[in-house]
Amino acid sequence: MPSEQIVVGLDVGTTKVNAIIAEIETGGELRVIGVGTASSEGLRRGVIINIEATLKSVIQAIESAEMMSGREVQAVQTGIAGGHIEGINSRGVVAVTGKEREITRSDVDRVIEAAKAIVIPMDREVFHVIPQEYIVDDQGGIKNPLDMIGVRLEAEVHIVTGSVTSAQNIIKCINRAGFKVDDLVLESLAASRAVLSHDEKELGVLLIDLGGGTTDMLVHLDGAPFHTHVVSIGGEQVTSDISIMLKTPIDAAEQIKRKAGCAYLPIVGEDESVTIPGVGGRPPVEVPRREIARIIQPRMAEIFRMVREQVDKKGYLQHLGGGVVLTGGGSLMPGVVDLAQEVFELPARIGSPTGLGGLVEEYQNPQYATGVGLVLYAADRLKKKDAPAAVKERVNDGLWKRMKQWFGEFF
């Protein structure tokens, strides 16, 4: 893999478009070399409603990242979200056909195909089929069944489906901006790739990505995704509540939320106050910061309760030994972790992307979790593509060594 190869993650959100450019170095390490952000105008609740407006935001974000990195972007890995996303757990069963009943790659591929053979409406498509576990002759909990001996192979998988038109609109928009889409990845999967540890996934963890238009959730159990859901409420609704209650424009309400917002009333001091700009010539007024927290906390608690209800309904709540991880721009608000711990009755933390080199200060922020996750997915994809060549190289090396040994023995 050449050292100059780059991968690009494009997170097209309801309020922001983030572009992350990373360079793959000779040893396979990733180094972030460009970060670009633009305001997003053409989406509502994670779905494109205005192609032209979204196109402009995409171009602006990518150009900004290109300028920082000094590199030119041609293809991107992008995310998909929205209320149309649905996760389904399915199971497939096949007979092992390999020589001496040894499970081969062909058997694994067939069992995955059997598991994904579910009936979905014509207007939906499958985005991901993720194995949870394999079962060989009733022996469960197997992560990789290759080369095992068995008669019957089963696979439990998590299937993510979504709207065909939503996916087509994202691809069309990015293509019209002059870029190729290498792959579409569920945004909560990308974020979990960037912020969750292996131990958390094994223990059971709930990831909540607090976006502007939607709140995405993903439950990992025993190292694999088990439940995907999108709540069609996000930070924009909190801004709208502030605007209505304080009788101030949306832009001013957004500024108030960012500078003085708090999601948990007990941590706000009695004597703290905030200046609300006047409208229509009226003078600005001072209001206690606790009043703003009284507006924000009920809405954030409602979002968390909706997520908890989803997890509870599936019976996963008691299996979350790794607790709750909050990410996305909404997780930056003070008090969010305290409120999450109160609603879920579980430990909670903020998840920021780590582990990559380069522009550490620029990307180590929860709002870039999806973008960084998309970059990691793109790098994984390239490694898989290069794997057959690497295997061939190893086989050829081994053959050459054996030939040298043979020549040494006989000549």
Given a cut of 80, is residue 313 above it in pLDDT? Answer: yes
Which range has highest mean pLDDT (44-58, 301-315, 370-384)? 301-315
In the structure encoding, which two tokens stand for residue 167, read together? 């996916």
Given a cut of 70, is residue 202 above it in pLDDT? Answer: yes
In the structure encoding, which two tokens stand for residue 5, read together? 């190869």
Q: What is the pLDDT of residue 133?
A: 94
Q: What is the pLDDT of residue 406?
A: 41
Identify which has the larger pLDDT, 28 or 288: 288
Side by side, the strands of the sheet bearing 357-358 are 180-186, 75-80, 6-12, 16-24, 30-39, 357-358
The H helix count followed by the E strand count for the chain is 11, 19
Whether the CB-CB separation of 196 and 351 falls below 8 Å is answered with yes
Kindly report the CA angle at 410 between 405 and 411, in degrees rounded to 5?
95
The answer to whether residue 94 is domain-embedded is: yes
Q: What is the pLDDT of residue 363?
A: 85
Q: What is the pLDDT of residue 394?
A: 38
- What integer best gives the mean pLDDT of the chain? 87
Question: Average of pLDDT values for 366-390?
Answer: 80
The answer to whether residue 174 is domain-embedded is: no
Q: Is 147 left (phi over 0), alpha (psi -120 to 50) or beta?
A: left
Measure the CA–CA gap between 32 and 231, rounded to whole angstroms: 31
Given a cut of 80, is residue 308 above it in pLDDT? Answer: yes
Q: What is the pLDDT of residue 222?
A: 93
Q: How sure is the predictor about 386, in pLDDT bands with cuts at 50, 70 and 90? A: low
Given a cut of 80, is residue 410 above it in pLDDT? Answer: no
Contacts of 302 (CB under 8 A, 6+ apart): 233
3 state SS of 234: coil
Given a cut of 50, is residue 405 above it in pLDDT? Answer: no
Overall number of domains in the chain: 1
Given a cut of 50, is residue 98 above it in pLDDT? Answer: yes
Given 3-state DSSP classes, what are the helix, strand and coil percentages for the chain, each rounded to the nearest 5?
A: 45, 30, 25
Given a cut of 80, is residue 296 above it in pLDDT? Answer: yes
Q: What is the pLDDT of residue 204?
A: 96
Q: What is the pLDDT of residue 4?
A: 64
How many CB atoms sit inside 10 A of residue 49's CB? 12
Closest CA to 195 of 392, 402, 374: 374
The answer to whether residue 18 is domain-embedded is: no
Question: Average of pLDDT values for 72-92?
Answer: 91
Question: Average of pLDDT values for 120-129?
Answer: 91
The answer to whether residue 291 is domain-embedded is: no
Q: How sure is the predictor about 1, in pLDDT bands with cuts at 50, 70 and 90? A: very low
The answer to whether residue 390 is domain-embedded is: no
pTM equals 0.87
Assign residue 95 the CATH number of its domain. Answer: 3.30.1490.110
Q: What is the pLDDT of residue 14?
A: 86
Whether the CB-CB separation of 82 and 229 falls below 8 Å is answered with no
The answer to whether residue 317 is domain-embedded is: no
The answer to whether residue 352 is domain-embedded is: no
b/e sequence 192-223, b meaning 16+ C-beta within 10 Å: bbbbbeeebbebbbbbbbbbbbbbbbbbbbee
Q: What is the pLDDT of residue 185?
A: 93
Strand pairing report for 75-80 and 180-186: parallel
Measure the CA–CA gap between 243 and 239, rounded to whole angstroms: 6
Kindly report the CA angle at 354 between 308 and 191, in degrees rounded to 5?
35
Closest CA to 221 of 160, 141, 144: 141
> What are the two backbone dihedrals, phi and then psi, of residue 109, each rounded to the nearest 5 degrees?
-60, -40
Given a cut of 80, is residue 393 above it in pLDDT? Answer: no
The answer to whether residue 95 is domain-embedded is: yes
Enclosing domain of residue 113: 86-162
Q: How sure is the predictor about 297, in pLDDT bands with cuts at 50, 70 and 90? A: very high
Q: What is the pLDDT of residue 93?
A: 95
- Using one digit for the tens of pLDDT, what is the confidence trace for 235-294? 999 999 999 998 888 988 999 999 889 999 999 888 888 888 877 777 888 889 999 999
Question: Average of pLDDT values for 355-375?
Answer: 87
